[in-house]
Structure 1
Amino acid sequence: MRELVFALEYEPGCNRVADALADHPDARVRSLSLHATAEQLWRVDHATGTPDALDAIEDAFLTSDYYADCLATEDCGATQTTRVLDRTDDTLVLYSDWERTPSCASVPHIARDHLGESVLFETRHEGRHYTWRLIHSGEGDVAAFFDALEVAVGDCARMEMLRTADTTASVGGSDETQSGLSPEQEAALRAAVEHGYYESPREVDVGELAEHLDVPRSTLTYRLRRAEEHLAKQHVADERLPEDPSATR
């Protein structure tokens, strides 16, 4: 089995969920379940954030002209249903069902076409970044998948490869550094350290660092956040490892 992780960074106005999340940087949406057949897609999503953020996310899901996963740039005639399953002050759970038409396009359906029918999906949406994690057999054509995805997203989003690896491999894969970070995350983290981003007080802010690296501010923020999350989890996991018995002898 192979793992494939990539992100789509949506341009303003191309995805209402991304627009809502961009307006509420501390909000998150992650998939609890996502399934797709040739004609249909259904999923359950869990959103966290302030009440105002959840109102915006709920409105984006319930009133969008196009389903959040649809990559069509014009009305494709698809039928969608979205229902609120649960709502508290800081969480929102949504169920969505989408019946596609021949002109519809989505990440899951493009994946089915090029990676096979038995693909597992996991998503995480924050700001304008929509991260997809796919588990597939490894027998499909990954290059053809990305070519078709690039055509489908057009000018609405930029794609960034984060990781591709054998799911049975140790930490790190063919597109990762030894730290387990993607090359883009590693470069962002190194630049942040070298330019004093982590000094107290900071010698450079994220906007200045983004300008130096010639990347959008939101992209740099996303890469640093993912790198910090990975390293923090890795540190905690390493602390939990049992001590080598020979070290105490």
Structure 2
Amino acid sequence: MRELVFALEYEPGRNRVADALAEHPDSRVRSLSLHVTADRLWRVDHAIGTPAALDDVEAAFLDGDYYADCLATDDCGAAQTTRVLDRTDDTLVLYTDWERTPVCASVPHIAREHLGDGVLFETRHEGRHYTWRLIHSGVGDVSAFFDDVRAAVGDAARTELLRTTPAVPDDSRGEGSGRSGRLEPEQEAALRAAVEHGYYESPRAIDASELAEHLDVPRSTLTYRLRRAEAQVIEAHFADDEVGGSAVGRHPLNDR
């Protein structure tokens, strides 16, 4: 089994959910369940944020131009049903059932074609970044999968490979090394630059926009990489607790 993690960074105006989350930086959406067949897709998503943020996220899902992950740039004629399963002041749970047409494309359907049946999916949507985590057999053609994803996305989003590793942790990494061993190069570069330029000083010697300009990346990309790097560093710091059996259970994409 192998783990494949990548992110789509959507351009403004190309994905309603991404636009809604970009307007509300403290909000995010993660999948609770995602299932796909040759012609259908079902998913349950959990969103957190302010009431205004959840209003915008709900509207993005309920409007007909979203089509539950369809990557088609024009109206593909798919039939979609989205229902609100639960709503509080700061949480929203949505169920979506999507019946695709021959011109539709989606990450799960492309994965099914190139990586086979039985692929497991987890998603996390923060700002314009839509992160996908796939667990697959390792037998399929990952290169062809990415080629088709990039072709389907076109200029609507930038695709960034974050990790492709065996799904089972390697004991040779040693105790206390953290769940995924080490930071991705892009995350490490962002974190190192933030430290070197005084981003974590109080008061800060540089703000996120200036640091992003120094690294020649969009501000949203920088803040996303820093958040993921910070989360992984914290996990690694407390990983020793797992050895003593005192760790609190974690979900791989838990963002609560």
Taking structure 1 as the reference length, what is the TM-score of the superposition?
A: 0.92
Match of 1:232 among 228, 231, 234: 234
Q: Percent identity at matched positions?
A: 76
Q: State yes or no: 1:145 paired with 2:134.
A: no
Counterpart-to-counterpart distance in 2, 1:179 and 1:4:
15
- Corresponding residue for 2:44? 44
CA RMSD of superposed structures (Å): 1.6
Distance apart, 1:179 and its partner CA = 5.2
Q: CA separation of 1:87/1:241 partners in 2, compared to 1, >3 Å: closer, same or farther? A: same
Verify the 8 A CA contact 1:17 1:68 in the aligned structure 2: no
Kept after mapping to 1: 8 A contact 2:25/2:127: yes
Alignment of 1:113-192 (within 5 A): 113-170=113-170, 180-192=182-194
Question: Are the counterparts in 2 of residues 172 and 181 from structure 1 also a CA contact under 8 Å?
Answer: no
Letter in 2 for 1:120: L
Indicate the larger mover: 162-171 or 87-96: 162-171
Residue aligned with 2:18, SS: helix
Matches within 5 A, 1:72-111: 72-111=72-111
Partner residue in 1 for 2:223: 221
| CA apart distance, 1:199 | 1.4
Do the aligned partners of 2:60 and 2:66 also contact (CA within 8 Å) in 1? no
Matched position secondary structure for 2:155 = coil
What's the offset of the Cα at 1:172?
10
Where does 1:184-223 land on structure 2 (aligned, <5 Å)? 184-223=186-225
Q: Which moved more, 1:67-76 or 1:28-37?
A: 67-76
SS at the partner of 1:154?
Answer: helix
Decide which moves more: 185-194 or 233-242: 233-242
Separation in structure 2 between the aligned mates of residue 117 and residue 102 of structure 1, nearest angstrom: 19
For these two proteins, the number of residue pairs brought into alignment is 239
Name the residue aligned to 2:70. 70
Distance 2:210 2:170 in 1: 36
User: Could you tell me how far 1:240 is from its partner in structure 2?
Assistant: 4.3
| Cα-to-partner distance string for 1:34-65 (whole Å, 9 max, x where unaligned) | 00000000000000000110011001101142
Specify every segment of 5 or more residues in structure 1 that has no aligned partner in the other structure, as ranges: 244-249
Partner SS state of residue 155, structure 1: helix
1:230 deviation in Å?
A: 1.0
Q: Would you identify which runs of 4 or more consecutive aligned residues in structure 1 move more than 6 Å?
A: none
Aligned residue number for residue 30 of structure 1: 30
Deviation sequence 1:11-35 (CA, Å, 0-9, x none): 0111000000000000010000000
Superposition deviation, residue 232 in structure 1: 1.0
- What is the match of residue 247 of structure 1? none
The 3-state SS of whatever aligns with 1:226 is helix
Code of the aligned partner of 1:149: V
Mapped partners of 1:240, 1:113: distance in 2 = 38
Q: Is the 8 A contact 1:172 1:179 kept in 2?
A: no
Aligned equivalents of 1:172, 1:101: Cα separation in 2? 46
Distance, in Å, in 2 between the alignment partners of 1:17 and 1:171 is 39
